[in-house]
Amino acid sequence: MKKIFILFICLVLAVAAVFSPRVSASQEKKLCIAFGDSIASGYGIDNVNQTYPAIIAKKFGLYCENNAVSGDKSADMLNVISNTPSVKDAALITISIGGNDLIASKDIVLAKAVSDKMGAMGLPSQSVQKFIKEINISGVFNGANINFETIDADMENIFSSLQKNIEDGVKLLRSVNEDAVIIVQTLYNPYLGNPEYQIFGFDVGVLIDPYIQKINNTYYAVQKALDNSFLIADVASGMNGNSAYFYTSWDFHPTTEGHAYMADVIGALYGKSVQTIATSESLTTAEATTQTSILQTTKDIKTHISTVQTTEIPSTSETIQTEVSTQTDNTASTNILTAEPQIPTEPVPPNVGNIKTPIFICIALVALISICSGIIIKRNR
């Protein structure tokens, strides 16, 4: 009796395991990790819950781990990623990087932009360079250290280094987590269209915009190089020159309104991606089920053919063999002994109630054990 009872419990647990919900790997992970610079870290925001990573995490029921560091360039972010073991548990990874790569060389960038602008106006390059080298605006620009002989190479190095670091960073993330949705946000231009920001009489937003666009183009270049292994959220198009999203006095950091906007854009992209993944997983499951049914049907057909081939029919076997041999000589493709079986054109009928056969087996076994238990108990009495 004791053995029967134990066996009965085991069978019940087996049935429960069959019916237990199966959750995909992407759904099991409940972590949102933010990498990048001061934009992602929430510089200037008093309440961390008002930063865009926290807003997105809350919206989708994720835990937020903000590993962004103010002042970090792409090389710094790469180091942070390599020291973040929790990446493997992330459902969403956001990246905001590139601004400091540009800002760290802001003197070079502005000098290059102004010299090109003045050169396009027909001014002699030597006079322009001398003029720029003599300019010193505290906290904004210092032309004394500009080397115009290497300025083109210095500019190109900004973008080539950024591209390599982002590429290496995404590869590193993917080596640890194949399922996470990775979203890189575009870099905005807060000075665009705002006459308050001028240098040497030129609109700063217009001066630096080609370089900001080149940074954004770098993101797309990496995305293409890595076969779209990450997404790009275009926050820039809605933020460029929008004073409501930024602080004043040359501060390019987003306000709470700016963070809310970025959360909307990035969150919408993530939500769409999750929905696409869920649909893809459903289709994959359906395809796998269909493929299994097809393979089983093919196996049944092969077994049936093998049975027919090995079954002797007393009165006609010799005649059939002669006909088959004749057809083999005339048309090889009709030889039933070697031809690949054809898959039926009609769909294979699904199991009753769309429940897998093993469930019925488990239920049947449970019922059988229950009946046997009842009989043994009755006999013992």
Going by DSSP bridges, is the β-strand pair 141-142/136-137 parallel, antiparallel, or unpaired?
antiparallel
**123, 211: one domain:** yes
Last-in-domain residue among 231, 249, 282:
282
Answer yes or no: is 169 within a domain: yes
Q: What is the pLDDT of residue 233?
A: 98
Distance CA 158, CA 105 (A): 8
Distance CA 109, CA 189 (A): 14
Q: Which spans in the chain are helix H? A: 2-19, 25-28, 38-41, 52-59, 74-82, 99-103, 106-120, 125-133, 151-176, 204-225, 236-239, 256-310, 317-330, 357-380
pLDDT classification of 367: cutoffs 50, 70, 90: low
Q: Is the pLDDT of residue 51 over 90?
A: yes
- The domain that holds 82 is classified in CATH as 3.40.50.1110
Q: What is the mean pLDDT of residues 8-29?
A: 46
Mean pLDDT of 215-229: 98
| Dist CA 162 CA 152 (whole Å) | 16
| Same domain, yes or no: 195 and 85 | yes
Which range (33-37, 70-74, 205-209) has the least confidence? 205-209
> Does residue 19 form part of some domain?
no
Residues 117-142, mean pLDDT to the nearest whole number: 90
Do residue 278 and residue 361 come from a single domain?
A: no
Please write the tens of the pLDDT for every residue from 54-90: 999 999 999 999 999 999 999 999 999 999 999 999 9
Mean pLDDT: which of 7-21, 290-304, 319-333, 351-365 is highest?
Answer: 290-304
Q: 333: which DSSP letter?
A: G
Q: How far is CA 255 from CA 118, 233, 281, 343, in A?
A: 34, 19, 38, 63
CA angle 188, 194, 199 (to 5 degrees): 95
Of the CA atoms within 13 Å of residue 213, those in its CB half-sphere come to 8
pLDDT, residue 226, reads 98
**Pair (182, 41) in one structural domain:** yes
Among 57-71, 159-173, 210-224, 336-350, the least confident range: 336-350
Burial code (b: 16+ CB inside 10 Å, e: under 16) for 54-92 equals bbbbeeeebebbbbbbeebbbbbbbeebeebeebebbbb
pLDDT at 274 over 80: yes
Tokens of 169: 């960073």
Q: Are residues 274 and 355 in the same domain?
A: no
**CB-CB contact of 54 with 48 (8 Å):** yes
Of the listed ranges 1-5, 165-169, 199-203, 325-329, the least confidently predicted one is 325-329
Residue pair 267/60 in contact by the 8 Å Cβ criterion: yes
263-288 mean pLDDT: 77
> Would residue 321 be called left, alpha or beta, if left means φ above 0 and alpha means ψ between -120 and 50 degrees?
alpha
pLDDT reported for residue 310: 44
End residue of a domain, out of 261, 282, 303 = 282
Q: Give CA separation, 236 vs 29, 186, 253, 254, in Å.
A: 29, 6, 13, 12
Q: Give a yes or no: residue 131 inside a domain.
A: yes
**134 within domain boundaries:** yes
Task: Supply the DSSP string of 292-318, one letter for each residue.
Answer: HHHHHHHHHHHHHHHHHHH---TTTHH
Query: pTM for the complete prediction?
Result: 0.68
**pLDDT grade for 195, boundaries at 50, 70 and 90:** confident
Residue 364 falls inside a structural domain:
yes
Indicate if the pLDDT at residue 219 is higher than 90. yes
- Give the angle 157-139-211 at the CA atoms, nearest 5°: 30
Is the pLDDT at 295 greater than 70? The verdict is no
The number of domains in the chain is 2
Residue 7 lies in a domain: no
Same-domain status, 167 and 71? yes
On whether both 246 and 374 belong to a single domain, the answer is: no
- Last residue within a domain, chosen from 282, 297, 332: 282
177 against 139, higher pLDDT:
177
Tell me which residue of 242, 241, 234, 220 sits closest to 262, measured CA to CA.
234
Range of the domain at 96: 25-282
Q: Region 276-303: what's the mean pLDDT?
A: 55
Give the three-state DSSP class for 334.
helix
Residue at 337 is within a domain: no
Same domain flag for 151 and 43? yes
In terms of domains, do 277 and 355 share one?
A: no
The answer to whether residue 293 sits within a structural domain is no
More confident residue, 16 or 174: 174
